[in-house]
Amino acid sequence: MNTRFQPLFAPEGTGGQPDQLRRMVEQMATGQPAVDESEYLLPVGRYWDVDMHRAEMDILYRRHPQALCRTSILAQSGSCLVHDLTGMPILLVRDKAGDIRAFLNVCRHRGMRLVEEEGVCRKSTLVCPYHNWMYGLDGKLVDVPKRELGFPNIRIDDIELAELPCQEAHGFIWVLLDREAKLDLSANLGEIGADLDWFDLKGHVQFAQATSEVPANWKMILDGFFEGYHVQRLHKATLAPFFTDDDVVFDQLGLNVRTAIARQRLADSGDVVDSPEGVRERLTFTYWLFPGTLLVVSPDYINAFTFHPQGPDHTTVIDTMLVAHAPQNDEEAGRWQRSFDLIHYNVFEKEDFGTAAKEQMGLRSGANEHLIAGRFERGLRITHSQIDDVLRAGGFDPGDLAGRQLAEGG
């Protein structure tokens, strides 16, 4: 037993932390991180194939909730935000009753884009610029100029904006692109919801945000978050001193995956730790919320990533840095800004996303038929087999493009 992990959590039932976090530490404490039976092969076509990309958009992204923004940026009734990155023209609105609505930003008259402003704006009604049909914040049509002459057969009460399922949870606005489906985020999150409560994701405050246009498939970017192998190597000038090399555990929970990597601080931890802050100083958790949301829980901040695939080899990534409270003074604001500059621009954008883009460049050269995930890079096996399973269940068979274990015959 590797005793350095033993004191990390208070005895069962006394510390308040979710039991599953304890389980991960217990797994680390064995000193023998789980490895897969064999290497896992990822055919290179799965990172560019157009049919697979379409199936992913339809079966993964359209049918599972996506976190579009923090609820706090639409706190006031009448706040509106246009969001176009999912492939659907979405208009988020806080209505008069205080509820968040996700409409298609499309006028019911002749289809004009209803709200055109970029960024958050305030409105008391939604008026189409083309012929001025007017909608309430609840999406109902309330006025049509020259209605008696032009539209005698249309019942105004029957017309409203098309609406998508939408829910506020853990401080985010989640939207489902499938209008017919039901959104039940707690069912999607499963037991991860308890972790997010424990880390008080809802109480965190948006400190900074940046958008990266990455010329790579979204799975190529995801891969970099699901192995600890590169941390001491690719990030040797930035993150490496803060982490250990091989203390990584993975936990598959429904469609989602949680992984934790031990920080150096863990090595000299002799205390019982039963607070979220204490745990965050010793372990860095990454949550993959299927399919396109990723949370990295660092000691001082949480990076929330949303992936928006724009094509097989182009992904828009939004990185939102969340902190426990609004900065109390200039010193704190300056420290967090320096952290964001380091972690977002140097680590994530330059090192991680930059690497994904360079891998993508090499894919079509024919040099590799497949990428190889090592036995300890099992996060890739877990995430990719999860993707393949959901695609199959949704009616798309990845065929030759499916990931597979080397031992199965390659």
> Which positions touch ligand FES (CB under 6 A)?
107, 109-110, 112, 128, 130-133
Residue 352 interaction partner, one of ligand FES, Fe ion, none, beta carbon < 5-8 Å per kind: Fe ion
**Using the rule CB under 5 A, is 223 a contact of Fe ion?**
no
By C-beta, is 101 or 263 nearer to Fe ion?
A: 263
- Give the nearer residue to ligand FES in terms of CB position, either 103 or 225: 103
* Contact in structure between 69 and 173 (CB atoms under 8 Å): yes
Instruction: For the CB of residue 164, give the shortest distance to ligand FES in the complex, in Å.
Output: 19
Instruction: Specify the residue, 313 or 352, whose C-beta has the smaller distance to Fe ion.
Output: 352
Nearer to ligand FES, 76 or 130 (CB): 130
Min. distance of Cβ 130 from ligand FES in angstroms? 4
Could you say which of Fe ion, ligand FES, none residue 185 binds, taking C-beta under 5 to 8 angstroms by partner kind?
Answer: none
**352 binding Fe ion? (CB under 5 A):** yes
Shortest approach of ligand FES to residue 332 CB, angstroms? Answer: 47
Which of 359, 89, 70, 26 is CA-nearest to residue 206? 70
> Of Fe ion, ligand FES, none, which one sits near residue 130, judging by CB under 5 to 8 A according to partner kind?
ligand FES
Q: Around Cβ 359, how many Cβ atoms within 10 Å?
A: 19
Q: Which C-beta is closer to Fe ion: that of 224 or that of 398? A: 224
- The distance of closest approach from Cβ of residue 158 to ligand FES in the complex, given in angstroms and rounded to an integer, is 16
Which of 218-226, 271-279, 314-322, 384-392 is the region at the interface with Fe ion (rule: CB under 5 A)?
A: 218-226
Minimum CB–partner distance for residue 129 and ligand FES (Å): 7
Q: How far is the CB of 54 from ligand FES (least distance, A)?
A: 29
The answer to whether residues 343 and 303 touch, using CB atoms and an 8 Å cutoff, is yes
First to last CA, the chain: 36
Rg (CA), the chain: 23
Does the footprint of Fe ion cover residue 388 (CB under 5 A)? no
127 CB-near residues (< 8 Å, 6+ apart): 133, 134, 135
53 touches, from ligand FES, Fe ion, none (C-beta below 5 to 8 Å by class): none
Left if phi > 0, otherwise alpha if psi is -120 to 50, otherwise beta: which for 40?
beta
Place of tokens 């931890």: 269
- Binding part of the chain for Fe ion, among 5-13, 198-206, 349-357, 375-383 by CB under 5 A, reads 349-357
Cβ distance to ligand FES smaller for residue 65 or 139: 139
The least distance separating ligand FES from the CB of residue 98, rounded to whole angstroms, comes to 27
Q: How far apart are CA 96 and CA 266, in angstroms?
A: 49
How many Cα neighbours within 13 Å face the side chain of 380? 25
Distance of closest approach, residue 337 Cβ to Fe ion, in angstroms: 21
| Residue 112 or 194 having the CB closest to ligand FES | 112
Task: Kindly state whether residue 247 participates in binding Fe ion, applying the rule CB under 5 A.
Answer: no
Angstrom distance (rounded) from CA 410 to CA 405 = 8
Contacts of 38 (CB under 8 A, 6+ apart): 375, 405, 406, 407
Residue 2 interaction partner, one of Fe ion, ligand FES, none, beta carbon < 5-8 Å per kind: none
Number of H helices, E strands in the chain: 11, 21
Only one of the segments 59-67, 144-152, 217-225, 330-338 lies at the binding site for Fe ion (rule: CB under 5 A); that segment is 217-225
Which CB atom, from 352 or from 388, has the smaller least distance to Fe ion?
352
Q: Is 319 among the residues that bind Fe ion (CB under 5 A)? A: no
Report d(CA 80, CA 119) in Å as an integer. 8
Taking alpha carbons only, the member of 315, 409, 410 closest to residue 369 is: 410
359 binds Fe ion (CB under 5 A): no
- Tell me the three state secondary structure of residue 401: helix
Tell me whether residue 121 or residue 267 sits nearer to ligand FES (CB atom): 121
Please report where in the chains the tokens 């639409």 appear, as a residue: 74
Q: How far apart are CA 196 and CA 294, in angstroms?
A: 12
What minimum distance in Å lies between the beta carbon of 224 and Fe ion? 5
Is 387:60 a contact under the CB 8 Å cutoff? Answer: yes
Number of other CB atoms surrounding residue 290 within 10 Å: 20
Task: State the nearest-atom distance from the C-beta of 128 to ligand FES, in Å.
Answer: 3
Instruction: Measure CA 339 to chain center.
Output: 20
Residue numbers at the binding site for Fe ion (CB under 5 A):
224, 352
